[in-house]
């Protein structure tokens, strides 16, 4: 098992550094927070196998524990980057198109989709736009702020209308009361 303490950790703790680190061969040990949940179908179809726990650690009980330790269960910026890189490297055009379509559908459902204020590469078509042209690096933030501001303005207008209606109603009631008292 690899549940022991590494030699570096032993040295830091002042203990003997004679405990060897486990030999892992060609396998790499990765933290759960660096991996994605293979139970999430969309992720499973988009990301390379190296971004998931090995089969040995993919049992439901083990995945539950790994989720508690930070196993990623949702599409995030890193997953988008990895998926795009995998699509670009895909040799099969049909498979690449299917993955790209799936990724676009997932991105369509995302609320957090970032807008890159600076182009990722100097030769990209958007390299002529300036970073200051985007008020916020997050499209959904702009969209949500716009919705909030729009709702606030509508709410203020409705409050004004309702306030005027209420004032008019009070005047009418007052007139009725004073009118009936005289007659």
Q: In what helix (H) or strand (E) does residue 17 lie, and over which residues does it extend? A: none
> Is-contact 72 79, C-beta < 8 A?
yes
Span 108-139, pLDDT tens digits:
887 766 666 776 677 766 555 444 444 444 44
C-alpha to C-alpha distance for 173 and 52, rounded to whole angstroms: 72
Q: What is the mean pLDDT of residues 59-76?
A: 93
Place of tokens 């997932």: 106
**Range of lowest pLDDT (59-63, 90-94, 109-113):** 109-113
pLDDT in tens, 142-176: 555 555 555 555 556 565 666 666 666 666 666 66
Q: Is the pLDDT of residue 24 over 50?
A: no
Q: What is the pTM of this model?
A: 0.48
Share of the chain above pLDDT 90, in %: 34
Radius of gyration from C-alpha coordinates of the chain:
30
């Amino acid at each position: 098992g690899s549940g022991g303490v590494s030699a570096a950790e032993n040295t830091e703790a002042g203990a003997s550094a004679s405990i060897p680190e486990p030999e892992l061969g060609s396998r790499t040990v990765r933290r759960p927070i660096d991996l994605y949940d293979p139970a999430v179908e969309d992720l499973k179809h988009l990301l390379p196998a190296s971004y998931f726990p090995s089969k040995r650690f993919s049992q439901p009980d083990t995945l539950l524990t790994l989720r508690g330790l930070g196993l990623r269960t949702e599409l995030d910026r890193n997953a988008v980057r990895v998926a795009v890189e995998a699509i670009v490297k895909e040799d099969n055009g049909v498979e690449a198109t299917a993955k790209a379509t799936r990724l676009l559908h997932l991105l369509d459902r995302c609320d957090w989709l970032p807008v890159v204020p600076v182009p990722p590469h100097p030769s990209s078509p958007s390299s002529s736009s300036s970073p200051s042209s985007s008020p916020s690096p997050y499209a959904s933030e702009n969209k949500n702020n716009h919705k909030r501001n729009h709702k606030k303005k509508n709410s203020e207008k409705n409050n004004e209308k309702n306030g005027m209606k209420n004032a008019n109603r009070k005047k009418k009631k007052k007139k009725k009361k004073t009118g009936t008292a005289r007659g």
